[in-house]
Every structure is written in structure tokens, then in C-alpha cells.
Amino acid sequence: MNAMLRNALRQYSSVGVRSGVEDASPHRLIQMLLEGALARIAAAIGHLDRGDVAEKGRSIGLAISIIGGLQSSLDTDRGGDVAGNLDRLYEYTARRLLEANARNDRGALEEVHHLLSEVKGAWDSIGPRVGSGAPVTFPSPARV
């Protein structure tokens, strides 16, 4: 496991999800990271709505760290177009989160939450097929 992914897992586990990380499959680890990023973005929206700028920034920073871990875990050699598309999507979502933080932009937070929810849904749908030998296909991603 590379250092960036380990750091993202540490960031994720520091927000209250310690059990299961050590024994989780690589597929489950990605699910957990996506869940953590989505939870941090949802928290950032709540903090923004309450006017808690410091906690909004902290939540966005954690989400960006997790997204960085997801991005660094991509295997572009074996992942082909899917890995390339995810790399661009993660780059875009991190940039939008930075913009959302700087501008207190709830719409940007909601956009990133939606995009990562789509990725998580696709990732969840392949879960039962991972390791079964069944071919894995991905639904067409939303255009960014």
C-alpha cells in the first residue's frame, strides 16, 4: 500500500472508523475511503450552513486528503481508460472542493458529493463480482 493511500486511510480512520480497516479487502478499503470523503463533504455542508467556517475548512481538508489517497491508489497501467477517467475526476473534485472552501460555495460541495456518490454507486455494484471471476464492467460515468 503506498504512502498516500495509507495517509488517506489514517485520515479516514481518524474521523471515527477504526474497526475494519486492517482486515478489509482492497475493494472494501476504496468503499470506506469514498464513504469517508462523502461524510466529510456532508459535514462541510452542515458547517457551512451553520456558519462554522473553521470546521467547514477542516472537513473539506479531510475530504481532499481522502480524495488524494484515492487518486494515488489508481493503477493507470492496468486500469486503462477507467483509471484515467477516475484520475481526472478526482483532480476535478479536489479543485472544486478548494474553490468551495474559498468561496463558501454550497453548490460546489453538493456537486462533488453527487459525483463521488456516483463513483461509490458504481464501485458498490462491482463488489459482489470482485474475486468471483465474473467480468467487471462499469456504468457510463457522468460527464464532468
- Residue 73 DSSP class: T
Classify residue 140: in a domain, yes or no. no
Classify residue 137: in a domain, yes or no. no
At 46, which CATH number? 1.20.120.340
Classify residue 144: in a domain, yes or no. no
For the chain, report the end-to-end CA distance as a whole number of angstroms.
29
Structure confidence by residue, pLDDT tens digits, 102-140: 999 999 999 999 999 999 999 999 876 665 555 445 444
Asked if 129 and 40 count as a contact pair (C-beta separation under 8 A), the reply is no
Classify residue 57: in a domain, yes or no. yes
pLDDT score of 65 more than 70 = yes
Classify residue 139: in a domain, yes or no. no
How many distinct structural domains can be found in the chain? 1
- Residue 55 C-alpha cell reads as 470546521
pTM of the predicted protein model:
0.77
Residue 107: which domain range? 3-124
